[in-house]
A and B are shown apart, each in its own frame.
Chain A
């Protein structure tokens, strides 16, 4: 065989295992979802028919979609800044020489290795009205308890607390790695120049952590659209859609209401949001490469 062709065949053979899985489980479903979103939902013997943009028209006028999107944004912007601040503080804290450092690091990281379902069950006990951890503490202090997850005013907040608790340790690991990438002599140069701890953090450490922060912010954003496991355990989107997030709403439409056409439409919308985020991240990270 022509050696040039042989090389091409060789290359494609190496590429094909990954490619097959990607096409089968990622690309084909994306295309299929897009197609489905332009068709009506099949019911019994009625086959789907082409309906153009009517699914999207329905989506724009669907108040629950907007509620879910709004919840998603509150969830994202309420959790991410706090999660990241905590992650940085914890990373700076465990980056120092101190007794039991390995233990503290492991402790912060534990929530990350637990499945979200398990975490949700743990927190379910914390939030249980009357006998849960929070109510027990409140009662002991003489305050009345409340139905944390059953109240539309507090339910979403409760989910956000869990997200912060789970993710801060995970992001801490990224910051810890970045902190250890800061050369020791740069830190020492700061000491010689007389920079105090806070001044040095503000003018040197934090800017040097910027690439990590960009990475973490976008991953956290994407995660808020992707991870809804705890909603299954804790609220199922309620009460009154107070904890309805886009992905959970998509699940409900697909597998509770069996409205596959509308679920496909929601899939396309979520995908557009995620792809926009990912592309923006690449752009921003590219501009920041000179830091390294």
Chain B
């Protein structure tokens, strides 16, 4: 276990920024802390870095209790959101700043610098000041400063949020491949679910200072722990609609086709990803209310009993607003949530069993 966070809390006066968080990171793992702004993710990272003292709880890095150690003794490097480069020093001096502090011998510095410069494609820019570089280049310098330290753990605080979309994509891949090649244990904070899904070995999703789910990206997508996660991950997010009573169980509209025999409709929410819905000849009727053409896909918005449901279809679909379409899906793609607690429900035993046994078409239509 490379990093272990145990019941960490951070209060600012009466504001509880981090409210009892525990998780661990394996060696060489890339862990993403994801969450909306204000959820405490950056505070948590700063606690791990040692830039802020914890209110309670412990932090272990590589088996050592570092909870009360200053940043320099935690064996970490860090990349800041704004890069935090020294504006008066050139690229070379920025990158080797920490090595000079630690009085690494000059030939060793040169050797490491050459490697990092080659790795990041910074040659030729060593004498430039940060102000003369583009945002992407500054980002590379900040990465270089973190990598050259050769610390086993690197912390990243939304490092890509100041870059434009295109650059963000390429830097994302670059950071990922660097992390894998160098075997760095990384904690990466972001509010961008795409970054989280594409980069992470594991994601910790936070809300209001607490962990909502700590899981693999696959599970985040396929088995969200509650409606918050389901709506946070995925573009467009998961469709979540209340169920309605019908003869013998629950349906998507009052008196509609029976979906879950014997189920109390008031206790559950029905969730399904837009790409798991299909337009078909027969099935659950829905009225088209709009569409968004994205080139490769078209998002068709439909309405079922006043609830909006988005269907993701491939290519271009020219469906007029007001048309009534029919939707089908595989029962295995359905997610159920508790209507009261909003938590995922895996064991509505009778309903789920029956749902699985039925062929797709018959459930919907």
Contact = CB atoms under 8 A, between A and B. Distances in A.
Interface in A189-237: 189-196, 199, 203-204, 207-208, 210
Interface stretch (B82-90, B115-123, B337-345): B82-90
A189 B149 CA distance: 13
Contacts of A192: 49, 51, 71-72, 76-78, 98
A216 B140 CA distance: 36
Interface residues of B, number: 26
Residues of A in contact with B, size category:
20 to 34
Given A191-B51, A191-B70, A194-B72, A183 B84 contact: yes
Contacts of B80: 185, 188-189
A291 interface: yes
A193 B87 contact: no
A194 B101 contact: yes
B102 interface: yes
Interface in A29-76: none
A186 B84 contact: yes
A290 interface: yes
Contacts of A199: 101
Nearest to B142: A189
B209 to A, nearest CB: 21
A207 B89 CA distance: 9
A194 to B, nearest CB: 3
B139 to A, nearest CB: 14
A189 B131 CA distance: 17
Interface in A151-207: 183, 185-186, 188-196, 199, 203-204, 207
B86 A204 contact: yes
A208 B84 contact: no
B84 A193 contact: no
Contacts of B72: 191-194
A291 B102 CA distance: 26
B97 interface: yes
B89 to A, nearest CB: 8
Contact of A207 (B51, B84, B88): B88
A192 B51 CA distance: 8
Interface of B: 49-51, 70-72, 76-78, 80-82, 84-89, 97-98, 101-102, 129, 131, 145, 149
5 contacts: A185-B80, A186-B86, A192-B71, A194-B71, A204-B88
**Nearest 3 CB-CB pairs, A to B?**
A194-B72, A193-B98, A185-B84
Interface of A: 183, 185-186, 188-196, 199, 203-204, 207-208, 210, 290-291
